[in-house]
């Protein structure tokens, strides 16, 4: 079976020198990804070996991964050379049977292109759940824009409450002072009550 992606690759190369430069940059991106995968596989192999990996070996592998990721990040940020959004990858044929070439080309991630799978890969409208979440995020963004006005209202409400507390403070202090000055117990009456309860003195 023919390569389902061959037509699009040829069409991209026929567009001129700009497309050729993008193809070269895309090849470089793929090489960097493969290098990162080789480094990670090497690190995993060392961890899985019966002989424990030494700390310097692990540090060397991690340092190599960091260097490769930094190079990959620089490649992705170079929009002049790499413009993946301008490329469209379309199948030129659908088949309900397993395509071994496609399976090898995608390293086992995609085995066939049929009428059930292609609409998901070529979807141009979001799922209802994803669209609902996007609308919620957009509403949250609108609420963020309205926060300054809400903050000003909260500040005025806080100032009003603070002024009310300041005005009520003298009244509260005066009331508390009057309560402290009011006699709430009498020692003589307490002594008479204890004598009456314990010894019956004063009872008729």
- My answer on whether 16 and 53 are in the same domain is yes
Instruction: Pick the more confident residue, 158 or 4.
Output: 158
> What gap in Å lies between CA 129 and CA 27, rounded to an integer?
35
Residue 151 scores a pLDDT above 80: no
Where residue 3 sits, what CATH number does that domain have?
A: 1.20.58.1710
d(Cα 123, Cα 133) in Å, to the nearest integer? Answer: 17
Which residues neighbour 193 within 8 Å (Cβ) at sequence distance 6 or greater? Answer: none
Helix 147-181 and helix 128-145, axial crossing angle in degrees, nearest 10: 60
CA-atom Rg of the chain in angstroms: 40
List pLDDT tens digits, range 94-110. Answer: 888 888 888 887 778 78
At residue 57, the 3 state secondary structure works out as helix
Same domain, yes or no, for 106 and 24? no
Which pLDDT does position 8 carry in this prediction? 41
Please give the pLDDT value at position 80: 61
* Cα–Cα distance, 136 to 143 (Å, whole number): 11
Where does the pLDDT of residue 19 fall: very low under 50, low under 70, confident under 90, or very high at 90 and above? Answer: low
| Residue 169 lies inside a defined structural domain of this protein | no
Question: Which pLDDT belongs to residue 9?
Answer: 39
Say yes or no: 119 and 62 in one domain.
no
The answer to whether the CB of 90 falls within 8 A of the CB of 12 is no
The owner of tokens 């990804």 is 33
pLDDT number for residue 4: 43
Domain that holds residue 61: 1-88
- Tell me if 66 is assigned to some domain: yes
Residue 144 pLDDT > 80, yes or no? Answer: no
Give SS3 for 165. Answer: helix
């Amino acid at each position: 079976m023919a390569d389902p992606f061959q037509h699009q690759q040829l069409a991209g190369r026929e567009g001129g020198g700009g497309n050729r430069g993008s193809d070269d940059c895309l090849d470089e991106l793929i090489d960097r990804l493969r290098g990162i995968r080789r480094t990670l596989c090497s690190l995993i192999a060392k961890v899985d070996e019966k002989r424990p990996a030494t700390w310097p070996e692990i540090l060397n592998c991690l340092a190599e991964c960091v260097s490769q990721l930094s190079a990959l990040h620089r490649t992705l940020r170079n929009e002049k050379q790499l413009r993946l959004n301008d490329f469209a990858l379309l199948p030129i044929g659908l088949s309900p049977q397993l395509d071994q070439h496609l399976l090898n080309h995608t390293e086992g991630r995609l085995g066939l292109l049929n009428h059930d799978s292609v609409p998901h890969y070529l979807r141009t409208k979001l799922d209802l759940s994803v669209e609902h979440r996007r609308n919620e995020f957009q509403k949250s963004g609108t609420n963020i824009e309205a926060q300054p006005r809400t903050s000003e209202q909260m500040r005025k409400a806080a100032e009003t409450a603070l002024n009310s507390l300041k005005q009520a403070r003298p009244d509260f202090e005066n009331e508390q002072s009057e309560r402290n000055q009011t006699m709430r117990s009498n020692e003589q009456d307490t002594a008479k009550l204890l004598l009456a309860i314990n010894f019956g003195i004063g009872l008729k």
